[in-house]
Amino acid sequence: MIPQGFDTDFELVNEIETTKTYKFTPDKIQGFIDGFNALQQAIYKVLSTEKYEYPIYSFNYGIELDDLIGKDPVYVQVELKRRIKECLLQDERIISVDNFQFTRAGDELTCTFDVISIYGTTTITKEVNI
């Protein structure tokens, strides 16, 4: 028997959890941030964390960069693009990662790219030793 008088129409709502987090500065943790600023901080943090290096993080967190040292620069560009996309697209706030540009100076490769998110677009720069 089905109960009478109940509304059986349900609406599924996909909401993103709050992004409020601590604000990190180079020398201290001070206050809170959320939204676009919290996303930029999350991008910086995940791209600065070597994957599998720290037991506090899951194996899905971070980016593998150490094994690119000493490799062919063309290979590093292709692999870096793939790894950056793989690591950033796990965040549900990020829609796409595009417009990769690379410059090389000695043993350093600088990668600049755009992150398109639910908050807008930001340009990120990541330097890697090769």
Distance of CA 95 to the CA centre of its chain: 11
CA distances from 130 to 49, 106, 112, 124 (A): 17, 9, 16, 19
CATH number for the domain running over 21-129: 3.10.450.40
CB-CB contact of 30 with 23 (8 Å) = yes
Distance of CA 80 to the CA centre of its chain: 13
- pLDDT on residue 20: 85
Amino acid (one-letter) located at 128: V
Sign of the CA dihedral with 36 first, then 88, 127, and 50 last: positive
- Report which of residues 1 and 36 the model is more confident about: 36
- Give 71-92 pLDDT, tens digit per residue: 999 999 999 999 999 999 999 9
Prediction pTM value: 0.82
What is the average pLDDT value for the chain, to the nearest integer? 88
Percent composition of the chain: helix, strand, coil (DSSP 3-state, to 5)? 25, 35, 40
- pLDDT on residue 15: 58
For the chain, the domains span 21-129
Q: Is the pLDDT of residue 12 over 80?
A: no
